[in-house]
Amino acid sequence: MSLAQLKAMGADRGVVPVAFEIGGQILTKPVRAHADGRVDLVDVVDGEPVYTAVLYEGRLEHVSSEEVLWHIPYFGQVVRIGAPEVIFAKRKREHENDAVREDKEMGLHAVIDMYGPDALEWRIVSSASGPRLAMQELANSEEIRLISENGGMLRDMDTKLEQTLNLTEGGRGDAAKRWAGIDAKRRRALTRFKVAMETYVKEFGSALVPRGYVDDDGYPLGVRLGSFRGGSMRKGMPDMSHIDAWAEALPEWAWNSRETDAYRNRMLQNRLWRSRQSFVDFQAAMEAYVHKYGSALVPRTYVDANKYSLGSVLADFRQGHMHKGTSWEEEAIAWAQALPQWAWNAKGCDAYRLAIGEANKKHQANKLRIELERARQIAKPFEKSKKRRSAMYAVCTDFSGRKGNAVLYMLSEDSKTIRRVSKNGDLCNRNTVGPVVDADPSQAPPPEAETANS
């Protein structure tokens, strides 16, 4: 519908009901059109909140047609604030969740429990918007009509009958009394919330309550404030505008606290506090390591007895984590530089290069050990002829050498070592892999004798 059509209906002078076709259904919402082209779905008309009444159907379709309850419908109503599709989707989820929690033997929830939620085909039958009392009366009468015209209440779950899955004739009794009861309950909750909020404001001078705050009476004010901002205790109340005005008069009030300077400052302070605490923990772990090993060069993968990943945290600290841009930055830098063998770049220090060299030696030794164990199992007996050794290499099928080259292992002439045979048949000392049998440690000379001989 165009803006011109809305204006022709009078939407630029006040609120008019407009029908929308959504999902094949005709839905009605109050609309106001603005001169700049904006179109609003109206929440309040003449000071009274606008509610939406939705009549919906859930029909057992996705089961065998032989099932007794196949094609039997359920009709329901919901009267709330919001768009029909949103209200209907939420009510449908409530039915499905209730079916899980409740142990019903009859009706809709029993059917969902028996066949699963996907067995039903759901749809909006009709919807309308207006004052909540009028919408509740409309929903009551329509629900009663739909149930009556489709066979009435559920009478037998085990016999094919013209009936519905409803356990009542529909309707929710006197609409005025029902809403009066709901309002009374919400007003009681609102009164307690107001008292707690005003007490907090009096003590702290601000309406920005931390989410986790609980007062001395055990009232979770921070959580309740979040619910209030979202509409709890106020949305749809007859005096909603007065409730909102009370809230907006509180010091530092915000409907969205994340948009306030106070919130951003508090988040900054929280981050600084967490950063400081992380630095204190890091300090303690580093000093314990230095006390034990006499060096601030911590291996990257080191994790202490408390499962603290000191090596990786140290790397982060060197990059500026936990201190850069903080009030204790100079203190942290001075502390770190006073540690023995401290380095902002560990790769540039002699100790690091020495450690890398030792690690490479160990790695090479380990590789050689693995090769030796393998060579011992496949080494060929000594062949004196160099030409014959070259011919044996040429037909070798072991390609586990560097870059996929062939490898031929052979015993030395004295049968004490294993060597690699080269392509031309050489079997020299530099190609030695290791001894055929490891030396017996018990036969090694005592340390004193080794020192004396050296």
Q: What is the pLDDT of residues 220-264, one digit of tens each?
A: 999 999 999 988 888 878 788 899 999 999 999 999 888 888 778
d(CA 264, CA 262): 6
Among 32-41, 119-128, 205-214, the range scoring the smallest mean pLDDT is 32-41
Q: Residue 353: its pLDDT value, please?
A: 77
Q: What's the pLDDT tens digit per position in 39-61?
A: 555 555 555 678 899 999 999 99
Contacts of 147 (CB under 8 A, 6+ apart): 75, 153, 164, 166, 169, 170
Strand boundaries in 360-422, DSSP class E: 409-411, 417-420
Q: What's the pLDDT tens digit per position in 78-100?
A: 999 888 999 999 999 999 999 88
CATH superfamily of 43-172: GIY-YIG endonuclease (3.40.1440.10)
- Pairing assessment for the beta strands 409-411 and 120-131 based on DSSP bridges: unpaired
Q: What is the distance of C-alpha 106 from the center of its chain?
A: 38
Among 48-52, 67-71, 308-312, 432-436, the range scoring the smallest mean pLDDT is 48-52
Q: What's the pLDDT tens digit per position in 397-426?
A: 888 887 888 899 999 999 999 999 999 999
The size of the chain, in residues, is 454
Q: Residue 386: its pLDDT value, please?
A: 92
- The domains of the chain are located at 43-172, 178-259, 262-348, 374-449
Q: Residue 452: its pLDDT value, please?
A: 34
Mean pLDDT of 87-116: 89
Check whether 11 has a pLDDT greater than 50: no
Looking at per-residue pLDDT, the higher value among 243 and 2 belongs to 243
Q: Please choose, from the candidates 219, 144, 235, 220, the residue with its C-alpha nearest in 3D space to the C-alpha of residue 183.
A: 235
